[in-house]
Amino acid sequence: MPTILPENCSPTAEPGRCPAPDCDRVSRTSKQPLCDMHYQRLMRHGDLNLHYNHPTHAGMSLEERFWARVNKAGPNGCWVWTGEIKPSGYGAFREYDGDRCIKHYAHRFSMRLAGTLVEDLLALHSCDNRPCVNPSHLRPGTQLDNIQDAIGRGRMNLDGLAIGQALSTRELRRQKRERLIAEEVA
């Protein structure tokens, strides 16, 4: 692979350092002197200074970018997030602030846009649809509220759990030790 070194890079940069202007990060390899960030920018956008250059979002506000990824099914239906979905089933949305990329859960960001997000609380779905970002289906709540909601709707697997009869780790260890001793004696 040939060395990729754009015109605005310093050819006299310290060995092992990225030659991009105002960058002091470590370079990828001796054959590829750019750091990971500048290499990715160059490969994706053809420019070292661009970090987000999606043609369909040029000139869009953060709110417009967010709602462009939502399929609205009427005012009362679920508004399904069509952007990135995490393995947990919840939507993910990225906000860019200079060189920083801030990741958000899409349903929490929807509440933030609606002005109903409370920072220390969770965003609870009333529709049980994880990709839904309809603010009318979301409400703030505590972890206890979330667990009680999950139990009430039958979404929490309680198989094998005898509520009020769970054994402590210490008790489980004692029982295992007694079984091992009994097996050795036998």
Say if residues 104 and 92 touch (Cβ distance below 8 Å). Answer: yes
> What is the share, in percent, of the chain residues with pLDDT greater than 90?
33
The CATH class, in words, for 58-152 is alpha beta
Instruction: Tell me the average pLDDT across 149-158.
Output: 84
Q: Which two tokens stand for residue 66?
A: 């967010």
Domain extents in the chain = 1-51, 58-152
DSSP 32-99: S-S-HHHHHHHHHHSSSS-S---GGGTT--HHHHHHTTEEE-TTTS-EEE-S-B-TTS-BEEEEEETT
Mean per-residue pLDDT over the chain, rounded: 81
**pTM for this predicted structure:** 0.58
Per-residue pLDDT at 12: 53
pLDDT recorded at residue 166: 63
- What is the spatial distance between Cα 12 and Cα 186, in angstroms, rounded to a whole number? 77
Q: What local confidence, expressed as pLDDT, does residue 1 receive?
A: 40
Contact 109, 158 (CB under 8 A): no
Q: Which amino acid, 145? A: D
